[in-house]
């Protein structure tokens, strides 16, 4: 398979090189995500001099208004939620108080569940994709199917005609479910 734009074939790479390349890409991805998280923390914790409500202010306001302690994670979620939906955080805390906090906590829990489910689905998909690639790369019994178009000469009842020649469909091996 030709890798677009790079001018070399991925079959030219050894397994070691492929693993090293995957490791470097993952490292770059992690560095990028850490940088985004750091920028976000700095932005959220900046002072309120410019009229922007920060996470520290959200925590402080919950403590002063309804005497509830809010975690950093909850404060970040509430800040982002109100910013996204263009709500005034101070007004929401003052008007709805405990009800607002409880609903935000429920929404945060739902978001965590969704992230976990999505991660599980992605992991399962990645495992299945990896398993399929390994079976394609390492299964020598399938090489004859590629050479003859997946057909074998017909025999007995399973035959059908194709241009005057009889062929049978290649039977696939059934996998046992555990």
Count of domains for the chain: 1
Structural domain contains residue 29: no
Does the pLDDT at position 169 exceed 70? no
Closest CA to 111 of 84, 143, 147: 84
Structural domain contains residue 52: yes
Structural domain contains residue 106: yes
- The reported pLDDT for the residue numbered 178 is 63
Structural domain contains residue 62: yes
Does the pLDDT at position 162 exceed 90? no
Render pLDDT for 14-64 as a digit per residue (tens, 0 to 9): 888 888 888 999 999 989 888 887 776 666 555 454 445 677 888 888 998
Helix axes 89-138, 55-66, angle to 10 degrees: 130
CB 74 within 8 A of CB 104: yes
H or E element at residue 104? helix 89-138
Structural domain contains residue 48: yes
Render pLDDT for 88-142 as a digit per residue (tens, 0 to 9): 888 899 899 999 999 999 999 999 999 999 988 988 888 888 777 777 776 555 4
Q: Encoding tokens for residue 32?
A: 């990028």
Domain region containing 115: 38-134
Structural domain contains residue 114: yes
Residues 6+ apart with CB under 8 A from 65: 93, 94, 97
Structural domain contains residue 88: yes
Q: CA 52, 58, 59: angle at the middle one, nearest 5?
A: 145
Helix %, strand %, coil % of the chain (to 5): 65, 10, 25
Which residues partner with 169 through β-bridges? 151
Q: How far apart are CA 165 and CA 155, in angstroms?
A: 12
Tokens 């479910």 found at: 177
Structural domain contains residue 43: yes
Does the pLDDT at position 81 exceed 70? yes
Does the pLDDT at position 2 exceed 70? no
CB 53 within 8 A of CB 75: no
């Amino acid at each position: 398979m030709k890798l677009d734009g790079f001018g070399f074939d991925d079959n030219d790479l050894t397994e070691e090189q492929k693993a090293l390349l995957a490791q470097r890409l993952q490292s770059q991805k992690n560095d990028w995500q850490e940088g985004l998280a750091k920028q976000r923390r700095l932005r959220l914790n900046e002072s309120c001099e410019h009229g922007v409500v920060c996470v520290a202010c959200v925590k402080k306001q919950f403590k002063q208004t309804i005497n509830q302690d809010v975690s950093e994670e909850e404060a970040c979620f509430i800040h982002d939620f109100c910013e996204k939906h263009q709500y005034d955080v101070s007004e929401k805390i003052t008007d709805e108080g405990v009800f607002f906090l409880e609903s935000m906590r429920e929404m945060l829990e739902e978001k965590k569940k969704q992230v976990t489910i999505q991660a599980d689905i992605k992991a399962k998909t990645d495992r299945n994709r990896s398993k399929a690639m390994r079976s394609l790369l390492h299964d020598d019994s399938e090489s004859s199917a590629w050479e003859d178009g997946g057909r074998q000469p017909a025999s007995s009842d399973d035959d059908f005609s194709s241009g005057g020649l009889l062929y049978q469909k290649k039977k696939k091996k059934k996998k046992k479910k555990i």
